[in-house]
Structure 1
Amino acid sequence: MLRPRLRRPTATIASGLAALAAGGLVALAFAGCGVVTPGPVSTVGKVDFDRPLAIPPLAESTVDADGVRAFSLEARAGTTEFEPGVPSETWGFDGDYLGPTLVAERGERVRVDVSNSLDEPTTVHWHGMHLPAEMDGGPHQVVEPGAHWSPSWAIDQPAATLWYHPHPHGETETHVARGLAGLFLLHDERERALGLPSEYGVDDVPVIVQDTGFSAEGRLEGAQRGYAGGLGDELIVNGTRSPFLEVHDELVRLRLLNASTARSYAFTWSDGRPMRQIASDGGLLEASVDLDRLRLSPGERAEVLLRVEPGERVVLQSRMTPEIAGLVGPVAATNGGDDAFDVLEVRAAATLDLASPVPAVLNEIADFDETQIAADRRFELNDSFEINGRAMDMGRIDEQVTVDTLERWTVVNDTALPHSFHVHDVQFRLASIDGAPPPPELAGWKDTIFVEPGREYVLLMRFEDYADPDTPYMYHCHLLWHEDQGMMGQFAVVEPGPRATMPEETHHEH
Structure 2
Amino acid sequence: MTGILRSGPVVWLVGVVAFVAVAVVLDVGAVQRPGGRTAAAQPVRNATIVVEEGGTRTGFATPEVTVGGGGTVTVVNLDTMDHTVTSVARRSDGAPVFDVRVPAGTSVTVPGVEGLSAGAWTFFCKFHPSMRGVITVEGVAGGVEPEHTRFEQPLVVPSTRRGADIRLVMRRAKVRTLPEGPRTSMWTYDGTYPGPTIKRRGGRGTEVTVVNRLPRGAGAMSTHLHGDHHASADDGQPTSHLIRRGEGRTYRYPLVVDGRPEPGSFFWYHDHRMDRTARNNWRGLQGMFIVTDPPVPGLRLPTGRRDVPLMISERSFTSGNQLTDPFADGPDMVGHHGEMSWTGDNAPPDDATVGDTVLVNGRHAPYLAVSATRHRLRLLNSSPFSSYNFTLSDGRPFLQVGTGSGLLPKSVVRSSVLLGPAQRADVVVDFSGATGQRLVLASVPAARGTTGDDARETAVMEFRVGRPARDSSRLPSRLPSPRLVAPVRASVAKTWTFGLEESRRGSAWSINGRAFDPGRVDHRVRLGTVERWRLRNTSDVTHYVHVHAQQWRTLLRDGRRPPPWERGLEDTWRLEPGEEVEIAARFTDYTGPFMIHCHMLDHEDHGMMARFDVTR
**TM-score, length-scaled by structure 1:** 0.83
Q: Residues 193 and 45 from structure 1, CA distance in 2 versus in 1: closer, same or farther, beyond 3 angstroms?
A: farther
Residue aligned with 1:441, SS: helix
Q: CA deviation at 1:128?
A: 0.2
Instruction: State the distance in 1 between where 2:188 and 2:297 align.
Output: 31
Instruction: State the distance in 1 between where 2:149 and 2:326 align.
Output: 19
Residue aligned with 1:145, SS: coil
1:199-218, aligned counterparts within 5 Å?
199=304, 202-216=305-319, 218=321
Where structure 1 has 5 or more consecutive residues not aligned to the other structure, the ranges are 1-19, 62-68, 496-510
1:300-319, aligned counterparts within 5 Å?
300-309=423-432, 310-319=435-444
Q: CA deviation at 1:425?
A: 1.1
Q: CA deviation at 1:71?
A: 0.7
1:379 aligned to which of 467, 471, 496: 496
Instruction: State the distance in 1 between where 2:165 and 2:539 align.
Output: 43
Bigger mean CA deviation after superposition, 216-225 or 459-468:
216-225
Residue aligned with 1:150, SS: strand
1:89 aligned to which of 185, 195, 206: 185
Q: What is the match of residue 12 of structure 1?
A: none
1:314/1:345 contact within 8 Å kept: yes
Q: What is the match of residue 462 of structure 1?
A: 586
Q: Residues 44 and 382 from structure 1, CA distance in 2 versus in 1: closer, same or farther, beyond 3 angstroms?
A: farther
- Superposed CA deviations along residues 336-357 of structure 1, whole A, max 9, x for unmatched, are x263111111112124232322
2:554/2:567 contact within 8 Å kept: yes
1:298 aligned to which of 415, 421, 444: 421
Q: CA deviation at 1:462?
A: 1.1
Check if 1:23 corresponds to 2:56.
yes
Q: What is the match of residue 159 of structure 1?
A: 264
Q: CA deviation at 1:172?
A: 0.2
Instruction: State the distance in 1 between where 2:170 and 2:493 align.
Output: 39
Q: Which protein is bigger by CA-based radius of gyration?
A: 2
Instruction: State the distance in 1 between where 2:287 and 2:596 align.
Output: 21
Instruction: State the distance in 1 between where 2:602 and 2:211 align.
Output: 25
Q: CA deviation at 1:79?
A: 1.9
Q: CA deviation at 1:281?
A: 1.9
Instruction: State the distance in 1 between where 2:417 and 2:318 align.
Output: 30
Q: Residues 410 and 312 from structure 1, CA distance in 2 versus in 1: closer, same or farther, beyond 3 angstroms?
A: same
Amino acid at match of 2:231: P
Instruction: State the distance in 2 between where 1:401 and 1:493 align.
Output: 5
Amino acid at match of 1:154: P
Q: What is the match of residue 444 of structure 1?
A: 568
Instruction: State the distance in 2 between where 1:147 and 1:194 align.
Output: 44
Amino acid at match of 2:443: S
2:267/2:291 contact within 8 Å kept: yes
Check if 1:342 corresponds to 2:459.
yes
1:271-290, aligned counterparts within 5 Å?
271-290=394-413
2:387/2:456 contact within 8 Å kept: no
- Superposed CA deviations along residues 157-191 of structure 1, whole A, max 9, x for unmatched, are 20010000000000000011111111110011255
Check if 1:480 corresponds to 2:580.
no
Amino acid at match of 1:94: D
Q: CA deviation at 1:192?
A: 8.0
1:259 aligned to which of 360, 375, 382: 382
1:231 aligned to which of 354, 373, 377: 354
- Superposed CA deviations along residues 398-448 of structure 1, whole A, max 9, x for unmatched, are 111111111111011001100000001112111111101000011111000
2:54/2:79 contact within 8 Å kept: no
Q: What is the match of residue 165 of structure 2?
A: 70
Check if 1:54 corresponds to 2:179.
no
Amino acid at match of 1:131: H
Instruction: State the distance in 1 between where 2:470 and 2:78 align.
Output: 52
Q: CA deviation at 1:193?
A: 5.9
Instruction: State the distance in 2 between where 1:448 and 1:485 align.
Output: 19
Q: Residues 44 and 491 from structure 1, CA distance in 2 versus in 1: closer, same or farther, beyond 3 angstroms?
A: farther
Instruction: State the distance in 2 between where 1:458 and 1:364 align.
Output: 20
- Superposed CA deviations along residues 113-156 of structure 1, whole A, max 9, x for unmatched, are 11011132111001000001111112122110111101223111
Instruction: State the distance in 2 between where 1:177 and 1:130 align.
Output: 25
**TM-score, length-scaled by structure 2:** 0.69
Instruction: State the distance in 2 between where 1:266 and 1:44 align.
Output: 22
Where structure 2 has 5 or more consecutive residues not aligned to the other structure, the ranges are 1-52, 59-76, 82-102, 109-124, 134-144, 257-261, 328-345, 502-508
Amino acid at match of 1:319: V
